[in-house]
Chains A and B, each alone.
Chain A
């Protein structure tokens, strides 16, 4: 369960406060779309939830742990093992093959390479891009790259998946494929947990908003 309590964030000490004391619980097993006008902090909220930014006020709570103010090393470990990220531009390593990109978080989480590769191939199979496992990102389409990014976000079987404008650079067909993949990700109970996985998408894409289970407007 991911929640925020009295959350505010500012990039500078006396700068504009974002979120204005936001308190919210994200429902496990649901896709939550975070939306709002540009500059209201949709992506910033994802980075705060993903423990890459520390809130200026309030806290992020993950499975009853107040993770937002933990040490940098602890937050990195939480990020590797319990939070998956999907970036707008997929952000795959251009010099490595797709499978290597997929298993990155698992390696940071301390998995063996063999175990990570096995899990990575399973996910690529599920997402329909297994045939591209040994291709470099430059050799696959944008839609395939984004589905690979979803695989990477899921490889450690995290409690939460955060996606920042995942369909922003895609045509409708590919956007549908990626959204379907993210929606399917909520169904998988994490480690047998019945409630499923929390998926949060920062977006202003009406198509995504239309298909999200919940919408958080900033």
Chain B
């Protein structure tokens, strides 16, 4: 039997037997919609966890020289930047308070961080020029707080015991995960400046542990307690566990929904086959092979299953959208394909049953 004839027969049979056709379509639609509205939400949550895991904030390693032992010099910063597991690295001194030099000591204080390294790794220049050593960039918020009309001018230390000032040569917006710099100024460090902390953004949360070991090796603290470490390792592990738990839950739920749906489709197809046993017996008598009968039963299940998958995906996405948890397109496509495959697979046994009935017995049954 030709493939085109087979499909046409499947379509005609599906159209002629509207109740089982509608039931198969409905069941597959429910399978898809339920999966997308439940497992899909889990998949979306899993995706969100993965996104957060991938965010720069979850990949930030901070090593602080707790005893002021001059451990984090420019060479350590440069070597850390050169590591294969490093995306960005800068040395940062303890922030100091500064005021607008024009106003003087009575001006409003804002923090200033002295940063050793490529400033483009911590901020984006929005006005002016890149600062040289001892020059500063000001954030929009700090500019307003200091009372600067433009991001140009000078600030001085607010301390009564130290004297110093910095020229302001431009404005910036901080890059993640250096959002706290939005409150103040960033000062370019002198070439030989010693930093108090080393900020390292690793390339991937999965390499956080290796990066930590490598950076500690470069900093080389003389004592174990010479440094303190703020590590993303524990956070990465926790998020990975949460993602794994969500994944396991989602897969179990998916298998449950597909299994239950496939069972119901199998019952509908079997009932349809039993009702149509005379029709199938006639087809066998007229020359349909067992393979053709199996293929016809599967085709007559496949076509409404495809329709149901389309309807179910639409309904499921609408429901997921109501919960603001649209699953990834790969999950949506996979769900539709799995639901159709489950329906088709569940039709195989009833189809084999239909194909192996004795046509004479069926035809002679009054």
Contacts and interface: CB of A to CB of B under 8 A. Distances in A.
A25 B349 CA distance: 42
Nearest to B355: A72
Given A72-B289, A73-B291, A91-B363, A108 B282 contact: no
B159 interface: no
B290 A73 contact: yes
Given A72-B290, A77-B287, A113-B8, A107 B1 contact: yes
A199 B32 CA distance: 54
B363 A108 contact: no
Contacts of A87: 282, 285, 363
Contacts of A95: 12-13, 16-17
* Interface of chain B, main secondary structure: helix
User: How many B residues touch the partner, as a band?
Assistant: 20 to 34
B11 to A, nearest CB: 12
B360 A52 contact: yes
A159 interface: no
Could you say which of A52, A76, A109 has the most chain B C-beta atoms within 10 Å of its C-beta?
Answer: A76
B359 A108 contact: no
B289 A108 contact: yes
Contact of A104 (B2, B4, B283, B364): B283
Interface string B262-300: 000000000000000011001111111111100000000
A96 interface: yes
B84 interface: no
B358 to A, nearest CB: 8
Interface in A89-111: 91, 93, 95-96, 100, 104-105, 107-111
Contacts of A81: 287
Contacts of A108: 1, 283, 286-289, 292
Pairs A-B, 10 closest by C-beta atoms = A80-B287, A95-B16, A108-B287, A76-B289, A79-B287, A107-B5, A105-B286, A108-B288, A73-B289, A47-B360
Interface of A: 43, 47, 50, 52-53, 72-73, 76-77, 79-81, 83, 85, 87, 91, 93, 95-96, 100, 104-105, 107-113, 152
